[in-house]
Structures are given as structure tokens and as C-alpha cells.
Structure 1
């Protein structure tokens, strides 16, 4: 069954999603990237870095790693107002059949604090996602670092992740 992209789901909820693409580079797969994507170390991968906005508010920093062979010429595609998942489906005929996700609160990086406008010593909600093909082949590894205070968006876009925020709030509140 087709999966709604975060972009499409956000639009259906009446929000206005946009992205600012900060980097699109082809690089050799590091050991962790190769392991996540079931590739040889040093195989070419795209590192696709963007900041996601909802209604003009910075929501998340996201880095996607994609095997080069899946989407050659990705650097020429504009996804600032378009779904990355739809791009993979419509241009590269690459379809996600299953997602594996994990969620945890982690300290915000200096980059998170700067781009997401977070105060010092903040945390971010880390969503790590592997998108799999129908045959179980890893297509995309996403590392999404979300502002936890944007709960109204998180609860609608990542309901399972929102539970992590509630548990943390209860434990620390």
C-alpha cells in the first residue's frame, strides 16, 4: 500500500510544509551508513541535508542517505515545495513498502541550536528511519532531529515519537 510522505500528510492536515535544502553531496558510504543501507563501505551515496518547516516554523533538521544508484542526478531536483518521497516514486520509480523507525531524546547539536533556534542545553527528538522496498532492500536512511516543543506537529506527524515526549515530560516534570 502507498505510504503518505510527511510532506503530503502535513498538507492533508492543513499545514504548509516547506524545506530548505542545505546540502546534496555524493560521498563514500561510511561504516555506519553502509551498515544501515546494506552497502559496501565507500559505495557512493547521496547525503541530502535539509531543514523542514511547517507554517514557516523550523521543525526539524533532516539528513537522508540514499544509495547513488537509486536516484542519480538527485542534486538537480528541487524538493523545497515538493515531497521527497513523491520524487523518489515518480521520477526514480522507487517505492517504500515498509518503515523501521526508532525515537529518542538526545542533546541538541550546535547546528540544531543554530538552525532550529534552540536555547543552550536543549534536547531534540531524534527519529531514525530506514525506508525499505517491497523486497526488504534499504532505500533511504533518515536521521531527523526535531524540535520537541513543536509538539502540535510532532503528535500529528509522528504519533509514536510523541509518546517519547510525553514520557520524558512525565519523568522530568
Structure 2
């Protein structure tokens, strides 16, 4: 590698160490570096949209909007978004696809000023995050909570699984750079499509990633 890239041993060793820390290669001192059989992963320390991430790994994203409405939020959602009595939100339900196959069902709630932007656009045309970012919306940070839930009737029908089948649920609160809540989402993934992997090293803080086969 030193000859191929006209480099000294130091930078080559640093590059290999970085790849090893990321879980992309195996081996170590005195052993040949081997590329590991790993699936692409989406880091959660960046706010990549489903569509953007799918395209980065060479998959074709898609979406089918099932519902969008301006309404009063459920008490738990209102509390998450720090909304007072009488506040309204824009809620939507979309089926997300990978290469034409059902992958995830998202139930997303946006605060009213932000959500109204979505009432007059084609939500099946692409990424909502990309649209909002282009409009200058300050999508700055997100907190993710994961658990497992049983597929309800709508989940099962849209994701093409049996009713009661286990699903991976991600609940996400997205905030602005000033900490203002903007979005609350309840996303449910087919477990044969998505997994969550947590990896860490002695040199870095733990990282978590969504992975797909």
C-alpha cells in the first residue's frame, strides 16, 4: 500500500486503524487486514433522511402517503412537543419502501407552523427533511428511543406481516438548534429489514447505527 499510494508507513497504519475502529476491516498487528462482511449502516449522530441514506447505499427509496391531517394531538404527543391546551399539529402516516418493498411505517407529528408547509406539497415526491431544510427549517438534533412492539392491524396490512408480528419501533424527537421541539415520530420497521447495532472502541464514544441486509 505504501508503494501504491506513495505514502510512508505512518499514514497507512493510521488509515487502517480508523477502518478497524469503524468495524470495516479485521486483523491486527502481524496479521493481514481483511475486509469484513458488513451491511451499510446509517449513523444516528447525523440527521440523514430515510431517502438520502437509502440513496447513499445504492438502494431506491420510496413512499406512499396514507394520511395527512391538521388536528389536535394526543396528550402524550402534545407533552413530547411541549404544546399547550388547544394547540394543533400536522400528522401524517407514510409507508416507506426500499427497492419497492415495504420497510417502515412512519407516523409523524409536526408542530403546526412547520407542518402547514406539507399540506400543499406532494409528499410522495421525495424526502420531507430535504424539503423542510430547503425551506430553511432548523432541524438540528434528534433523540431516538428504541423498543419492540406487536404489529397492529394497520401495521400488518401495510408492512405485509402477520398481525401481532414483532416490529422494531423508533420514537424520535427532533429539535431546533435552540432546543425547540419540532417533530415527534413513531416509526415501525420490519425486523427482517432493519436492525440496530451499537459499536464502541476504547478510543471513541459508543456509536449506534441502523443496518439493513
TM-score category of the 2 structures, normalised to the smaller one: 0.7 to 0.9
C-alpha contact 1:29 1:41 (8 A) present in aligned 2: no
**What secondary structure sits across from 1:39 in the alignment?**
coil
Distance 2:166 2:131 in 1: 31
Output the TM-score relative to the length of structure 1: 0.83
Structure 1 position 150, deviation (Å): 0.9
Aligned pair partner of 2:160 in 117, 121, 125? 117
Structure 1 position 3, deviation (Å): 2.9
Matched, 1:79 2:123: yes
Matched, 1:146 2:192: no
- Structure 2 gap segments, 5+ residues each: 1-44, 198-207
C-alpha contact 2:47 2:142 (8 A) present in aligned 1: no
Query: CA deviation digits over 1:119-169, x for unaligned, max 9?
Result: 243111110001111001111101001111113xx459xx5456xxxxxxx
Structure 1 position 94, deviation (Å): 1.1
Aligned pair partner of 1:99 in 142, 159, 183? 142
Q: Which has the higher contact order (CA 8 A, sep 6+)?
A: 1
Backbone CA RMSD of aligned residues: 1.9
Query: CA deviation digits over 1:14-46, x for unaligned, max 9?
Result: 000011011110001221111011111330100
* More helix, by proportion: 1
**What secondary structure sits across from 1:14 in the alignment?**
coil
| Pair 2,160 (structure 1): closer, same or farther in 2 beyond 3 Å | closer
Structure 1 position 69, deviation (Å): 1.1
**What secondary structure sits across from 1:94 in the alignment?**
coil
Output the TM-score relative to the length of structure 2: 0.68
- Structure 1 gap segments, 5+ residues each: 163-173
C-alpha contact 2:142 2:172 (8 A) present in aligned 1: yes
If you compute each CA radius of gyration, which structure gives the higher value, 1 or 2? 2
| Ranges of 4+ aligned residues in structure 1 off by more than 6 Å | none
Matched, 1:130 2:166: no
Aligned pair partner of 1:64 in 72, 97, 108? 108
Distance 1:30 1:87 in 2: 26
C-alpha contact 1:30 1:42 (8 A) present in aligned 2: no
* Pairs aligned (count): 157
User: Aligned runs of 1:25-36 on 2, under 5 Å?
Assistant: 25-36=69-80
C-alpha contact 1:51 1:58 (8 A) present in aligned 2: yes
Structure 1 counterpart of 2:98 = 54
C-alpha contact 2:150 2:163 (8 A) present in aligned 1: no
Matched, 1:11 2:55: yes
